[in-house]
Amino acid sequence: MSKEQTKPSESLVQELLNERRSLKVAVERLKLELADAQSGSGGPDPHLGELREEIERLRYQLASARAEANQLRDERDELRAGIEKALQQLSADGK
């Protein structure tokens, strides 16, 4: 074998060794991340706070909408009662 033929293979071996090392490091990192995730020590989901705020905002909107609906219902009932009273007075006056 000439030196030209051995150089590419040596370079390939070095590349493969480097890749192997990188992959081993990545595997260990992923094992640690997995252990953290399984033990729950990874902490709460960062979106959890945002979701709680959104729930609180939606609860407030729901309460406001319910209050407004109740108020409109009361006003409707008062108007209906007023109209009925006015119709009764008109029919009593017309007799």
* Shared domain check, 35 and 59: no
Question: pLDDT-derived band of residue 16, with 50, 70 and 90 as boundaries?
Answer: confident
Domain count, the chain: 2
* Shared domain check, 53 and 38: no
Residue 44 DSSP code: S
**Which positions ≥6 away from 33 have C-beta within 8 Å?**
42
Question: pLDDT-derived band of residue 43, with 50, 70 and 90 as boundaries?
Answer: low
**Can you give the residue range of the structural domain that contains 35?**
1-43
Do residues 5 and 12 make contact, with C-beta atoms less than 8 angstroms apart? no
* Shared domain check, 71 and 54: yes
> Would you state the structure tokens that stand for residue 19, as one six-digit string?
């890749």
The string of pLDDT tens digits covering residues 59-95 is: 999 999 999 999 999 999 999 999 999 999 999 987 7
* Shared domain check, 78 and 61: yes
* Shared domain check, 52 and 14: no
What are the backbone angles phi and psi of residue 92, rounded to the nearest 5°? -70, -35
Instruction: Give SS3 for 92.
Output: helix
